[in-house]
């Protein structure tokens, strides 16, 4: 199945239409860059609550160390607040050599990992 490229307004409208505010039903969104989000959204269609985003591009400033140029995908599973990584969450990446690494497992604040 091939996903058609759509403008951002389409994805926001789709998320809003797919979410039942009374039951907080999770949605699955496919972005034009190939990213897939499964989880909850707020009434504006932004990622909000619990969810997982898998993408072939970095979704924050976390570049990691070795072989980051060989990265195949990045996945974040955890809490979101108004479209940003926020609260407890785990970001993993898979490099070109097939090794899955944890980039950050812990707290996030407005899209930025919190290191103690």
Domain boundaries, the chain: 8-113
Q: Which residues pair with 84 in a beta bridge?
A: 81
Q: pLDDT value at position 86?
A: 95
Q: pLDDT value at position 104?
A: 93
Q: pLDDT value at position 100?
A: 85
CA separation, residue 74 to residues 6, 15, 25, 67, 86 (Å) = 22, 22, 25, 13, 17
Could you read off the pLDDT of 33-71 as tens digits, one per residue? 788 999 999 888 899 999 999 987 554 444 555 555 555
């Amino acid at each position: 199945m091939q996903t058609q490229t759509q403008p951002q307004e389409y994805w926001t409208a789709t998320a809003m239409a797919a979410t039942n505010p009374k039951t907080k039903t999770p949605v699955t969104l496919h972005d034009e860059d190939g990213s897939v989000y499964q989880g909850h959204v707020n009434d504006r269609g932004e990622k909000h609550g619990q969810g997982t985003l898998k993408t072939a591009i970095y979704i924050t400033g976390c570049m990691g160390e070795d072989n980051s140029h060989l990265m195949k995908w990045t996945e974040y599973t955890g809490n979101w607040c108004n479209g940003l990584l926020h609260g407890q969450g785990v970001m993993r990446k898979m490099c070109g050599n097939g090794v899955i690494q944890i980039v950050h497992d812990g707290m996030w604040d407005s899209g930025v990992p919190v290191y103690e």
